[in-house]
Structure 1
Amino acid sequence: MSKERSHDGDVDFIRALAELLRENDLTELEVIREYGDNDSLNVRVSRQQQIVQTMAMPAAPAAAAPAAAPAAAAPVAAANDDPASHPGTVTSPMVGTAYLAAEPGAAPFVTVGQTVNEGDTLLIIEAMKTMNQIPSPKSGKIKTIIVADGSPVDFGAPLVIIE
C-alpha cells in the first residue's frame, strides 16, 4: 500500500512540474528526486510544441509587414522544406530576441539574394540586454531569412540559410 501512495505522490509531483513549466513559459525541466538507497525518480518534462511555434512565428509578422511582403514567400517555402535540415542553415547560438538591423529604421544587415563573406554580421541577438552579433560561418548567397525582426529565438533555432 505504501508504494501506491508514493506512486500517487510521484504523479502529483510530475503534474506540479508540468504546471511550473507552463506557468514560467519554460521549454524543458529535468529533476532527480532521491528517496533513499537505490530509489530515485528521474523526471524530464518538455514542451516540443513551443519549438515548432517559435519556428512558425516569423512567417506571420513578415507577411503582415507591407515592406517585407516580397520576402515573406521565401520563409514560408523554407518552413515547408524544414530549414533546420538544410546544410546552409545558420542556427541561433543562444536564446534571445533577433534583430535584423542595428537599430529601428536602419537598413538590415543582410537581405535575400545578397552575397556575404565569412564573418559578416547576419543579424543581432539580444540576450540579457547584451547585443550579440551573429557572424556568417561561410561565404555565400542569402537564400532565406527565416526569423522576423524582433522575434524571440531559441537555442538552435534556424535563422538564415546561406547557399
Structure 2
Amino acid sequence: MKIDKSIIKELSDYLDEFNLTEIEITEKDTKIKVSKNNVSISNQPVATSANIQTGNENVSKKPNVKSGMEITSPIIGTAYHAPEPGAKKFVEVGKKIKKGDTIMIVEAMKTINHVPSTADGTVKEICVEDGHPVEFGQTIIILE
C-alpha cells in the first residue's frame, strides 16, 4: 500500500488550525486517522493497521501568544455568529460589549446555547469562524 504523505501532513495541519485532538478520513477501502500523537492507517478488507509516529515532535513551534481577555466555549458544538443566517452578528471586531451580552451561539445536539460574555471589553479578535466546530474550553473571542 502506498501512503500519500501529503494527506497526513494536511490532516496534521488541520489538527492545529482547528484545535482538534484527532481527525479521520475514509476513502474507498483506506481509512486514515491522525491524532496529536500518532497516525493510524488501515485497509478495511485486510483488517490490518499500522501506527506511524509523525515527525512533529522535533519541530519547534512558536507559542500561540494571545493578549487580552479570552472567552472560551462552555460546550462542544457548532458556533454561529448570528441567531440565524443573514441576521446581524452578535459581535464584531471593535464592538464594545458588557458582561452577560450574548457573543455567540453554540448548537449542540439540535439545542441552541447562548454564550454570554464573561467580562466587559472591546472585541479584539473572533477566534472561530461562523458555522465551524468548537471544543469545550476553546478560545472563541478575545477582548481588550
Query: TM-score if structure 1 supplies the norm length?
Result: 0.51
| C-alpha distance 88-158 of structure 1, shift in aligned 2 (>3 A) | same
Q: Work out the CA distance in 1 between the residues paired with 2:13 and 2:75.
A: 19
Query: Between Structure 1 and Structure 2, which shows a larger proportion of strand residues?
Result: 2
Work out whether residues 92 and 154 of structure 1, in 8 Å CA contact, stay in contact via their aligned partners in 2.
yes
Match of 1:149 among 126, 130, 133: 130
Q: Work out the CA distance in 2 between the residues paired with 1:81 and 1:150.
A: 26
Match of 2:93 among 112, 115, 118: 112
Q: For residue 112 of structure 1, what is the amino acid of its counterpart?
A: V
Number of equivalences: 92
Work out whether residues 98 and 124 of structure 1, in 8 Å CA contact, stay in contact via their aligned partners in 2.
yes
Q: Work out the CA distance in 2 between the residues paired with 1:53 and 1:104.
A: 24
Q: State the partner residue of 2:18.
A: 54
**SS of the residue 1:142 aligns to:** strand
Counterparts of 1:120-139 in structure 2, within 5 Å, are: 120-139=101-120
| C-alpha distance 81-107 of structure 1, shift in aligned 2 (>3 A) | farther
Q: State the partner residue of 1:97.
A: 78
| C-alpha distance 53-88 of structure 1, shift in aligned 2 (>3 A) | same
Larger radius of gyration: 1
Query: Between Structure 1 and Structure 2, which shows a larger proportion of helix residues?
Result: 1
**SS of the residue 1:97 aligns to:** strand
Q: Residue 82 in 1 paired to residue 46 in 2?
A: no
| C-alpha distance 100-127 of structure 1, shift in aligned 2 (>3 A) | same
Q: For residue 115 of structure 1, what is the amino acid of its counterpart?
A: K
Percent identical among aligned pairs is 43
Displacement of 1:155 in angstroms is 1.1
Q: For residue 18 of structure 2, what is the amino acid of its counterpart?
A: T
Query: TM-score if structure 2 supplies the norm length?
Result: 0.57
Work out whether residues 143 and 162 of structure 1, in 8 Å CA contact, stay in contact via their aligned partners in 2.
yes
Q: Work out the CA distance in 2 between the residues paired with 1:143 and 1:154.
A: 21
**CA RMSD for the aligned pairs?**
2.4
